A and B are shown apart, each in its own frame.
Chain A
Amino acid sequence: MKLCTQIERVEKTVDDFTVGPINLEIELGTITALIGNNGAGKSTLIKMMMNLVKPDNGQLVHFGGSIKTSEHWKQEVAYQPQSVLGCDLLTGNQLRDLMAPWYKKWDQEMFMNLVKTFEIDLHKRFGKMSKGMQQKLNLVLALSKNTKLLILDEPTANMDIPSKQKLMNILVDWMERDERAIVIATHHVDDIKKLADYIVIMNDGKLLGKYEKEELVYRYKRYWFEDALGIEKIPGEIDRLNDRLLISNDVEQTDTFLKKNELKIMQSEVLEMEEIITYMLSGR
C-alpha cells in the first residue's frame, strides 16, 4: 500500500487543551472516517493536516514532503472546511474563477456535472446561499480540484437526505478515478457504514485507535444466556443487562472464558455500527 500521509507524534496545545500526540498513516486507495464527540480534536487535527494550525511538536508529511517545508502537497490535498469565512460577497462563478487557476489538475467537466447534480446556482453570492447549499458548493469545489487526497470536515452536516445519498455515490466514483484517499470527519453512521474502510477514533484530544471496519465489527458481540450468569466480571465484558445479556469487546477472551466455565449461550450476534461507535466513544 502506498502512503499518502504520515502523521508522527503531532501535538498541539491551545489554552489548556492538548490534541495528540497523534500517530496516523493514511493509505492511498482507502477512505478513513475520523470520528469522535464534539470537541474531541478532529477539526484541529484536520487543520494541522492542512497546515492552517501549526503543531507544537511532531511531523506531518503529505506525499513525501514535509508540510512545513514543501509546497507541492498543496496541489494534491483538497479540503472542505465545516464553514468558510471571507467569501460571502463572491458568487459561485467567481469562487471557481478564483480557485481553478491554482490547481493544475482542475477538472472543469466534473465541476459542471456536480453543479448540475446538486442544482447549485453559480450566479448567487456565497453569503446569500443556504447553509446546505454553501456546503454543496464547497464540496464541489473541493472535488473538482482533482487532488489525490480529499479531507472533508463533516460534509453532510447541513445536507438534505437525497443530497447525502448523491454525495456517497459521488465519493465512490471520485475514488475510482485514480489512486486516491479520503479522510472524512463525520457523525453520520451511514457515511461510516458505506464509505469507510478504516475508522479512526478520537476522544479528548487523543487518538484511541485506527481499525479496519470489519475488524472493529468482530471485536464486539452480544450474548444471551439461558440462565443468569451470577459471575462478577467476565473477560471482555463492557455491558450487562439483567444478568442474561452480555456485551463484550473482546470476543476471543469472552468465548474462551464461557467455554471453560461451561456457560450456555442461547444466542449471540454482532453489534450494529451505531452501538459499536457509541461504546467506543464512551471509552469501552
Chain B
Amino acid sequence: MELPIKLSRDSRVPIYHQIEGQIKALIVSGKLPAGSPLPSIRALSKDLEISVITTRRAYQDLEYGGFIKTTQGKGTFVAEVEVKKMEKLAISSVSEAIEKGVETALRHNYSVDEIRSVFEEVLARLKDNDRGGHA
C-alpha cells in the first residue's frame, strides 16, 4: 500500500501540502481510483519519515476537500470525486506547472515570443517521444 510520494524538505512548500498535492495528483491521474485504500496515518508517517501530526494534517485537508474518506475501524479510502472537480483540478494543476515554467523564463528575461517557441519545441519533442512509444 506504499504510495509513490517524494518529499522535498528543501522546498518552500510545507510538507503536509506536498503530501496533499501528490495524493491529489495520484487520484486525478487515475492511479488511485475511487475505493482504493490509503496507508494509515502512522504507516505513511513511517515511510515518509515524518510525524503523524504532519500526515494527519494532510489527510484532514484531503478529507475536507472530499478526496478521501475515513471509516472508523476500516481505514482510509479514496472517495468518489466528481468528474467536473477532477477536470477542474487537472486543469489547475497543468496551468500551475506551466505557470512555474513561465515564471522561470521571465526571471531569465525571456521575451514572450521566445517563451512561446521554447514551449512549442518542448511540446513537439514530447509528442515525438510519445509516438515512439518510450519516453
Residues of A participating in the B interface, judged by any CB pair closer than 8 Å: 29-31, 168, 172, 175-176, 193-198, 212-214, 217, 268-270
* CB-defined contacts of A270 to chain B, threshold 8 Å: 9-10
Once A268-B10, A269-B10 are accepted as A-B contacts, the answer to whether A172 and B51 lie under 8 Å apart by CB is no
User: Which residues of B, 27-72, contact A by the 8 Å Cβ criterion?
Assistant: 40, 42-43, 45-46, 49-54
Please state if B46 and A172 are interface contacts (CB–CB under 8 Å).
Answer: yes
A201 to chain B, nearest CB (A): 15
In the assembled complex, the CB of B3 is this many whole angstroms from the nearest CB of chain A, namely 15
B3-36: CB near A (< 8 Å → 1, else 0) gives 0000001100001000000000000000000000
Chain B interface category by residue count: 10 to 19
> Do A194 and B46 form a contact, CB below 8 Å, given A214-B15, A270-B9, A270-B10?
yes
Contact B52 A29 (CB under 8 A): yes
Could you tell me if B50 and A214 are in contact, using CB atoms closer than 8 angstroms? Answer: yes
- Are B49's CB and A193's CB within 8 A? yes
Chain B residues within CB distance 8 Å of chain A: 9-10, 15, 40, 42-43, 45-46, 49-54
Check if A195 sits within 8 Å of B46, measured CB to CB.
Answer: yes
Q: What separation, in Å, do the CA atoms of A212 and B14 have in the docked complex?
A: 14
Question: Chain B: which residue is nearest A271 at the CB level?
Answer: B9
In angstroms, Cα B53 to Cα A168, docked, is 18
Closest residue of chain B to A270, judged by CB? Answer: B9
> How many residue pairs between the two chains, A and B, have CB atoms under 8 Å in the bound complex?
39
4 further A-B pairs in the complex, CB-CB below 8 A; given A197-B52, A269-B10: A194-B46, A197-B51, A197-B53, A214-B53
Chain B residues, Cβ within 8 Å of A29: 52
Taking the closest CB of chain A, its distance from the CB of B58, in whole angstroms, is 12
User: Which residues of chain A come closer than 8 Å to B53, judged between CB atoms?
Assistant: 30, 197, 212, 214
Q: Is the CB of A214 within 8 A of B42?
A: no
* Least CB distance, A32 to chain B, in whole angstroms: 10
B9, B15, B42: most-surrounded residue (chain A CB, <10 A): B42
- Determine how close the nearest CB of chain A comes to the CB of B13; give it in whole angstroms: 12
A195 to B49, CA, bound (A): 7
Complex-state Cα separation, A92 to B123, whole angstroms: 67
A-B contact pairs, 30 of them (CB 8 A): A29-B52, A30-B52, A30-B53, A31-B52, A168-B46, A172-B42, A172-B46, A175-B42, A176-B42, A176-B43, A193-B49, A194-B49, A195-B46, A196-B51, A197-B52, A197-B53, A212-B53, A212-B54, A213-B50, A213-B51, A214-B15, A214-B50, A214-B51, A214-B53, A214-B54, A217-B9, A268-B10, A269-B9, A270-B9, A270-B10
- Considering the chains assembled together, what is the distance between the CA atoms of A270 and B52 in angstroms? 20
For A214, the chain B residues whose CB sits under 8 A away are 15, 50-51, 53-54
**A residues less than 8 Å from B52 (CB atoms):** 29-31, 197
Residues of A within 8 A of B45 (CB): 197
A196 to B50 alpha-carbon distance, docked (Å): 8
Q: Of all chain B residues, which has the CB nearest A192?
A: B49
Q: What chain A residues lie within 8 Å of B9 (beta carbons)?
A: 217, 269-270
**Residue numbers in A under 8 Å from B54 (CB-CB):** 212-214
CA distance A194 to B42 in the complex (A): 10
Determine the distance from Cα of A213 to Cα of B7 in the docked complex, in whole angstroms: 15
Q: Would B51 and A212 count as touching, CB distance under 8 A?
A: yes
Q: How far is the CA of A197 from the CA of B52 in the complex (A)?
A: 6
A175 to B52, CA, bound (A): 11
- Please name all residues of chain B whose beta carbon is closer than 8 Å to the beta carbon of A213 when the two chains form the complex: 50-51, 54
Q: Note all chain A residues with C-beta closer than 8 A to B15.
A: 214
Q: Given A214-B15, A214-B54, A268-B10, are A172 and B49 neighbors across the interface (CB < 8 Å)?
A: no
